[in-house]
Amino acid sequence: MDTGAIASRHAEAFAAASDRHRRPSRAEAEAAVRTLIEWAGDNPDREGLSGTPERVARAYEEFFAGYDEDPVALLSTTFEETAAYDEIIVLRDIRIESYCEHHLVPILGKAHIGYLPAGRVVGISKLARVVEAFAKRMQIQEALTSQIADAIQETLKPQGVGVYIEAAHQCMTTRGIRKPGVSMVTSRMLGSFRDDPTTRREFLTMIASSRNAPYES
């Protein structure tokens, strides 16, 4: 299945859900955590857990802060004084901390982004922030990869974009089949990164030295 279609459906589903459902209050969120603690078999009123609903609600604000970010706006400030720079720009080893939308457990790994500018560039911190904006949502890795690449391509309009993500999914390592040490790799190549084998190979070579570096899983 085309990953662009996955990303599109993911965005549409989120927009539709936002239209249908109001955002619960903090009190309602904390009450839901209390219910889960009780369902798990513990007492939410005991000393060690009495503050947990509040802490979990605060943590969710951090875990899912991407819903309040606009990736397109993050990429809107660009620079055209590049001294005619026309080679690939790569940002490697961007840490990914996301959450599996099926089980709400962590996805941990690294993203690498490359693009071939067409007259303008963006600050490198903005690329990392775009990764954060999409990662800090309930995700599947395939959609995350496409969303990052598509946002850069559609906003910067470079000659091409490449996004490569390698991550460990705790829905697989800590439950279910329980296979630690397994990582998932996804990539999305657009423009010259898809059409020109030399450009694609150069990008993959530039990130190769860090692809096997360890990350927390």
Residues that are catalytic: 100-103, 141, 169, 171
Sorted by sequence, the CB contacts under 8 Å of residue 201 that are 6+ apart come out as none
Number of Cβ within 10 Å of residue 215's Cβ equals 14
User: Could you give the CA distance from residue 155 to residue 53 in angstroms, rounded to a whole number?
Assistant: 39
User: Could you give the CA distance from residue 110 to residue 18 in angstroms, rounded to a whole number?
Assistant: 29
| Alpha helix segments (H runs only) across 41-181 | 52-63, 71-74, 124-135, 141-156, 170-173
Cβ atoms of 199 and 160 closer than 8 Å:
yes
User: Could you give the CA distance from residue 192 to residue 129 in angstroms, rounded to a whole number?
Assistant: 24
CA dihedral 26, 18, 163, 75 (to 10 degrees): -90
In three-state secondary structure terms, 173 is helix
In terms of C-beta density within 10 A (0-12 exposed, 13-18 middle, 19 or more buried), how is residue 192 classed? buried
